[in-house]
């Protein structure tokens, strides 16, 4: 298919980015007065911008390698071969048509493991919580294996998306406890969640009640390959300006952004894999982040994931307070269960906290 030239690519990206910024700002200005139906509409507008930007990035300019897409509230995985133009005429329905073409867990990707987009992140849990594993990332995972890895003290656990079969979702995750610091978990994500779009027509069941909503403190940082949270931060930093042309390009062609946080109301109701970031609380446009865990009685090997980010580009994030501290080299942001989404945006726009390499995490959820 054809792809945009660099000029077209940049122009379109800028236009879409600006449109999204304005929509976000509008949401900020109107947060206190927005009716639920208006909030929903605003979410949809932002969603449309996100999709358009994503598609644009995957197609990319002719002269340039496929840029890594911006982190999305809803991870989706269009392939370069998707037959989408960059003329801005894309509709939601068009976008959904991409899925069957690329979402083949059992085709080439399964034969060549390396073809899967892979990235890692490290999650540190707060020892005071006594929890054995990092929090849920908003997706529903099913453990399918565990293996002792040479040179490590702890076994590695293998998870795949619960909707692998029902929605042909290829996302996988490995969880490895750190030898050096048992409170640190290294999460390796492989593949991206495609169950979210498939779920538009057939939403999968809600969170398993087995996942207990618990308070936790955990720290969160990323290695150089992980661009999820810090990219998200970048996109909203400083006047919400987005630098789409500075996105790094990974070894993979496809987006690594699959693991997104669960955003939910403070009721503890969890929204699973499909549209985790689009879950809109009736009372909070920007929502809140609710980490959840697997059974608290799980063994050491039975960790669940932590979020790859605590926010998304729609501004669906947990509202942090400003008592960030640096602990053990891992940034920690105390989160409060404030009902003010504005406070969260202020946090996001804080230049200090929005360094592109800034590892961030949260502590004190629900405290």
Give the C-alpha distances (Å, rounded to integers) separating 186 from 155, 177, 226, 317.
Answer: 12, 6, 12, 22
209 in contact with DNA (CB under 7 A): yes
- Residue 108 near DNA by CB under 7 A: no
Q: Does 302 bind DNA (CB under 7 A)?
A: yes
Binding part of the chain for DNA, among 22-30, 75-83, 147-155, 279-287 by CB under 7 A, reads 147-155
CA–CA dist 127, 183 (Å, integer): 7
The only residue of 22, 29, 147, 215 in contact with DNA, by rule CB under 7 A: 147
128 near DNA, rule: CB under 7 A: no
For DNA, give the closer residue by CB, 67 or 191. Answer: 191
Q: Which two tokens stand for residue 166?
A: 């029902």
Residues 17-56 that bind DNA (CB under 7 A): none
Kindly tell me which residue out of 22, 113, 215, 241 binds DNA, with binding defined by CB under 7 A: 113
Q: Residue 259: CB partners within 8 Å, gap ≥ 6?
A: 75, 137, 138, 139, 171, 173, 187, 189, 193, 228, 305, 307, 308, 309
Minimum CB–partner distance for residue 338 and DNA (Å): 31
Q: Which of 33, 37, 150, 224 binds DNA (CB under 7 A)?
A: 150
By CB under 7 A, is residue 172 in contact with DNA? yes
Choices 218-226, 233-241, 295-303, 356-364 (CB under 7 A): range interacting with DNA:
295-303
- Asked whether 58 and 81 are in contact (CB, 8 A), the reply is no
The stretch near DNA (CB under 7 A) out of 28-36, 91-99, 108-116, 130-138 is: 108-116
Contact 99, 72 (CB under 8 A): no
Q: Which of 7, 35, 111, 201 binds DNA (CB under 7 A)?
A: 111
Which residue, 210 or 322, is less far from DNA as judged by CB?
A: 210
Q: Does 149 bind DNA (CB under 7 A)?
A: yes
| Nearest distance from C-beta of residue 255 to DNA, angstroms | 18
DSSP labels, 300-355: TT------S-SB-TTS-B--B-S--EEETTEEEEEB---S-HHHHHHHHT-TTTT-
Instruction: Write the CA distances from 202 to 164, 167, 239, 261, 300, integer angstroms.
Output: 14, 9, 37, 21, 34
Number of H helices, E strands in the chain: 8, 13
Q: How far is the CB of 222 from DNA (least distance, A)?
A: 19
Please answer whether residues 275 and 261 qualify as being in contact, where contact means their C-beta atoms are separated by less than 8 angstroms. no
Of 38, 154, 156, 243, the residue at the interface with DNA (CB under 7 A) is 156
Shortest Å distance, C-beta 152 to DNA: 7
Three-state secondary structure call for residue 280:
coil
Q: Yes or no: say if 248 and 325 are a contact pair by the CB < 8 Å rule.
A: no
> Is 245 or 300 the residue whose CB approaches DNA more closely?
300
Which of 144/245 has CB closer to DNA?
Answer: 144
The residue range among 138-146, 178-186, 320-328, 348-356 that interacts with DNA, by the rule CB under 7 A, is 138-146
Between the CA atoms of 222, 184, 318 and 91, what dihedral angle is there, to the nearest 10 degrees? 50
Looking at 29, 91, 97, 142, which residue binds DNA (CB under 7 A)?
A: 142
- Judged by CB, which is closer to DNA: 211, or 221? 211
Tell me if 62 contacts DNA by CB under 7 A: no
Q: Sheet of 184-190: strands edge to edge?
A: 141-147, 156-161, 172-177, 184-190, 118-125, 218-222, 362-363, 330-334, 325-327
Residue 258 within binding range of DNA, rule CB under 7 A:
no
C-alpha closest to that of 251 among 110, 56, 118, 58: 118
Footprint on this chain of DNA (rule: CB under 7 A): 110-114, 140-151, 156-158, 160, 162, 172, 174, 190, 208-210, 294-295, 298-299, 301-302
């Amino acid at each position: 298919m054809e792809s945009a030239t660099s000029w077209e690519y940049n122009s379109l990206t800028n236009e879409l980015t600006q449109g999204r910024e304005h929509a976000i700002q509008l949401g900020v200005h109107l947060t206190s007065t927005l009716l639920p139906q208006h909030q929903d509409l605003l979410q949809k507008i932002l969603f449309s911008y996100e999709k358009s930007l994503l598609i644009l990035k995957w197609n990319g300019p002719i002269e340039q390698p496929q840029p890594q897409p911006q982190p999305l509230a809803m991870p989706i995985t269009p392939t370069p071969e998707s037959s989408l133009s960059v003329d801005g005429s894309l509709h939601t329905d068009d976008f959904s048509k991409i899925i069957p073409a690329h979402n083949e867990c059992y085709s080439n990707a399964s034969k060549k493991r390396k073809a899967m987009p892979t990235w890692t992140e490290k999650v540190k849990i707060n020892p005071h919580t006594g929890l054995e594993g990092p929090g849920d990332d908003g997706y529903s995972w099913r453990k399918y294996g565990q293996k002792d890895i040479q040179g490590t003290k702890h076994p590695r656990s293998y998870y795949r998306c619960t909707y692998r079969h029902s929605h042909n979702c290829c996302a996988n995750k490995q969880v490895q406890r750190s030898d050096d610091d048992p409170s640190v978990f290294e999460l390796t994500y492989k593949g991206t969640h495609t169950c979210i779009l498939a779920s538009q027509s057939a939403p999968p069941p809600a969170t398993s009640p087995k996942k207990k909503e618990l308070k936790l403190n955990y720290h969160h940082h990323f290695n150089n390959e992980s661009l999820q949270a810090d990219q998200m931060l970048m996109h909203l930093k400083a006047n919400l300006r987005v630098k789409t042309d500075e996105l790094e390009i990974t070894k993979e062609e496809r987006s690594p952004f699959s693991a997104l946080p669960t955003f939910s109301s403070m009721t503890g109701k969890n929204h699973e894999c499909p549209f985790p970031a689009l879950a809109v609380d009736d009372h909070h446009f920007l929502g809140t982040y609710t980490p959840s865990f697997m059974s608290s009685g799980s063994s050491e090997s039975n960790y669940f994931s932590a979020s790859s980010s605590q926010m998304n580009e729609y501004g669906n994030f947990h509202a942090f307070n400003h008592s960030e501290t640096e602990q053990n080299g891992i940034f920690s942001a105390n989160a409060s269960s404030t009902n003010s989404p504005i406070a969260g945006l202020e946090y996001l726009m804080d230049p200090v906290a929005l360094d592109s390499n800034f590892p961030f995490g949260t502590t004190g959820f629900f405290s």
